[in-house]
Amino acid sequence: MANPSILILAGDGIGPEVMAEVKKIIGWYDAKRGITFDVSEDLVGGCAYDKHGTPLHDDTMAKAQDVDCVLLGAVGGPKYDSLDFSVKPERGLLRLRKEMDLYSNLRPAQCFDALADFSSLKKEVVAGLDIVIVRELTSGVYFGEPRGIFTEGNERVGINTQRYTESEIARVARSAFELARRRNNKVCSMEKANVMESGILWRQVVQEIHDKEYPDVELSHMYADAGAMQLCRWPKQFDVIVTDNLFGDLLSDAAAMLTGSLGMLPSASLGAPMANGRPKALYEPVHGSAPDIAGQGKANPIACILSFAMALRYSFDLGEEATRLEQAVEKVLADGVRTADLMGPEGGVPVSTSAMGDAIIAAL
Amino acid sequence: MANPSILILAGDGIGPEVMAEVKKIIGWYDAKRGITFDVSEDLVGGCAYDKHGTPLHDDTMAKAQDVDCVLLGAVGGPKYDSLDFSVKPERGLLRLRKEMDLYSNLRPAQCFDALADFSSLKKEVVAGLDIVIVRELTSGVYFGEPRGIFTEGNERVGINTQRYTESEIARVARSAFELARRRNNKVCSMEKANVMESGILWRQVVQEIHDKEYPDVELSHMYADAGAMQLCRWPKQFDVIVTDNLFGDLLSDAAAMLTGSLGMLPSASLGAPMANGRPKALYEPVHGSAPDIAGQGKANPIACILSFAMALRYSFDLGEEATRLEQAVEKVLADGVRTADLMGPEGGVPVSTSAMGDAIIAAL
Ligand SMILES: CC(C)[C@H](C(=O)O)[C@@H](O)C(=O)O
Ligand SMILES: CC(C)[C@H](C(=O)O)[C@@H](O)C(=O)O
């Protein structure tokens, strides 16, 4: 049987640096555990634009459809700010999400014990925090038509369309309920049903799927503005949050920041099962391309490494190996190994991106 | 000359209780300072629905158009949850905003010294915080057409439209720049120009208005998800934030919660100048109708009282009187007078809604 396959799209900014550490870990699994992946690499984002004039070449898209999963670093940078909307680095990422139909984006917001002091929130508010935001990733205002900038009379008008079908809502709701069953069995769904009809439909469908298929899971509904408040006030009240593409973008970023562990947080974007039973999948850190520190060996590779751990769990059914890798990360943090972004006010000497990767491999 | 006129719409839940304290203060201004307002009262929200079958009667709408300003308490409650979308309490509020054309919603997020410990954020992150979110309030996805729940094939589809014209963006941008000039001269504009064309237009128009009319103000742009992060990480980096209706809804609620002073925060919604030079205006607390504590004399009236202070400043050009009232509130807080929502872990005996109002009048 062929080895499981991974397409690495390291992207821009710190993407290649943090991905280099993941490659070391993939090498370790091959050498030490006899778990071998067929790894190929390609371009996405600004670097793809530089080479091909498009942030995602059709060949790369075809490869992504063909592998067991994609690992992505980060895209974007100031160099590309003035590009036309249609070829901006982000469009490469959005095309992958849409064409692979990765509708369920799992964004854990987890506070690492060793870093609880690091949050702008009080320690008691975040210590031990472990919630997951399930964000719908292939629809909503990100992709709805009509969209564009038009001229009406003598002025410009900017238009986007928020659009959700029943089946789009149902499938991401199912994925949230499934996840909750493996966790603390609680789902909170967020929308603006008091203002938006798409939110009313969202609430109805989530409720229907719950009542019919997951009556054992505790379900609540919250307006997204109240949700933003409650995430800031007492995030531990949540287990799994399910929400749409745009609300999920804001709420998951706020939640990630709250943990104080932004450079630490992975994400998984999952679609329907392929012929081999594995879900279509893309894994990427929550952080961006951080052009200000790119190329300096300062970046924290942990979010990208933990994204690979999610790949082990969700794509390759290697849950125990995933846990092993996560525990190695925790051990290294507990030992006080820190990249620059993790330096507290006490100071100390930060390690480089590559030394952090080495420490994690040593802990494995 | 006729007295300045105010329409009070106390609304639902704790609305009438907190508004009762504002009425006492209006009485104090009449008796002690010879500043007399013509006050009328009417219904909005659930109570209007109960009486008229609509959350805002046409007569009330006409009155609101006719007065110098509206003071609103809060709308909504579980009793009305199952009502049809078109007659929900919120529609009354949204109709007022739209028909009075109140495009500029000022939401200060201010941390009161006496309450800095109260935030879920670390004291150093919020102490002294004083920023204003200027939220566009009459357009965007709240009002765009087409909207609704439709049937397509054999499933339902929920649709809303995000829509901004150039002039809608320009006028709220001007209001943010004007405000910044009276503060620390910094505006940060937030959108998702990396994903939404309406965000691209937003960014362009804000930049154009800046370059042509307010080059002296420091302007920056941020994606709204990064904005949510930065509000949680280091809110003091901001002075004035300008953003659209939906992002403003989430971001201002998050910012309000961060201050730890939710029951304390007022808002002003301003439109174009009327014939008498005063702007169309509605003032309301940021908090909701809090049905769980309604009718128990527990509610904190300060947000509603500070909303009246904003009315003194923005509608009646009584800036000094507004400051006097704000200082009275600060004094009462510094003296340790607390409603139930302001009780810290040290405990103590909370005062009632009406005792808080009395204490503020005594401090005046
Ligand atoms: C880069 C951008 C297009 C993207 C988004 O808005 O979804 C990012 O913010 C994210 O959350 O993954
Ligand atoms: C009550 C609701 C319609 C309203 C809104 O979404 O604008 C509220 O959340 C607010 O922020 O004033």
Residue A345: predicted pLDDT: 67
Give A-chain residues touching B196 at CB under 8 angstroms. Answer: 141-142, 147, 158, 160
Residue A113: predicted pLDDT: 84
The residues spanned by each domain of chain A are: 1-107+263-364, 130-258
Q: Rounded distance, CA A204 to CA B82, Å?
A: 12
Q: Rounded distance, CA A157 to CA B140, Å?
A: 11
| Residue with token string 């930060």 | A350
Q: One fold for both B1-103+265-364 and B130-258?
A: yes
A79 is in an annotated binding site: yes
Cis status, amide bond into A146, omega within 30 of 0: yes
Nearest-CA residue for ligand 2 atom 8 is B249
Instruction: Determine which of A87, A145, A162 to mutate to test the interface with B (most B C-beta atoms within 10 Å).
Output: A162
Give B-chain residues touching A165 at CB under 8 angstroms. Answer: 152, 155-158
Task: Determine if ligand 1 sits within 6 Å of the CB of residue B157.
Answer: no
Candidate from B199, B202, B233 with C-beta closest to A120:
B233
Q: Rounded distance, CA B257 to CA B337, Å?
A: 21
**CA-CA distances (angstroms) from residue B131 to B106, B108, B120, B292, B308?**
10, 6, 18, 30, 19
Candidate from B90, B197, B253 with C-beta closest to A148:
B197
Quick check: helix, strand or coil at residue A41? strand
Q: Quick one: tokens of B198?
A: 């309406």
Q: Rounded distance, CA B252 to CA B107, Å?
A: 7
Q: Collect the ranges in chain A with pLDDT lower than 70.
A: 1, 345-347
Examine the residue annotation and report whether B249 is marked as an active-site residue of this protein.
yes
Residue B262: predicted pLDDT: 81
B73, B138, B64, B72: which is closest to B102 by C-alpha?
B138
Quick check: helix, strand or coil at residue A218? strand
Cis status, amide bond into A55, omega within 30 of 0: no
| Residue with token string 């996805």 | B141
Q: How far is the CA of A98 from the centre of ligand 1 (A)?
A: 13
CATH number of A1-107+263-364: 3.40.718.10
Give A-chain residues touching B249 at CB under 8 angstroms. Answer: 192, 224-225
Instruction: Determine which of A88, A91, A94, A120 to mutate to test the interface with B (most B C-beta atoms within 10 Å).
Output: A120
Q: Which CATH architecture has domain B130-258?
A: 3-Layer(aba) Sandwich (3.40)
Q: How far is the CA of A6 from the centre of ligand 2 (A)?
A: 45
Quick check: helix, strand or coil at residue B186? strand
Q: b/e for B72-91, b at 16 or more Cβ within 10 A?
A: bbbbbbeebeeeebebbbbb
Q: How far is the CA of A249 from the centre of ligand 1 (A)?
A: 7
Residue B271 backbone phi and psi in degrees, to 5? -120, -155
Q: Which bound ligand lies closest to the C-alpha atom of B193?
A: 1
Residue B242 backbone phi and psi in degrees, to 5? -120, 130
CATH number of B1-103+265-364: 3.40.718.10
pLDDT for A181-224, tens place per residue?
Answer: 999 999 999 999 999 999 999 999 999 999 999 999 999 999 99
Helix (H) or strand (E) holding B130: strand B130-136
A77 is in an annotated binding site: yes
Task: Determine if ligand 1 sits within 6 Å of the CB of residue A136.
Answer: no
Q: How many residues does chain A have?
A: 364
**pLDDT means over runs of 10, chain B (364 residues):** 93 98 97 96 98 98 98 95 92 98 97 86 92 98 98 97 98 98 98 96 98 98 96 96 98 91 92 96 95 95 98 96 96 92 78 97 96
Pairing state between β B38-42 and B266-273: unpaired
Q: Rounded distance, CA B92 to CA B86, Å?
A: 9
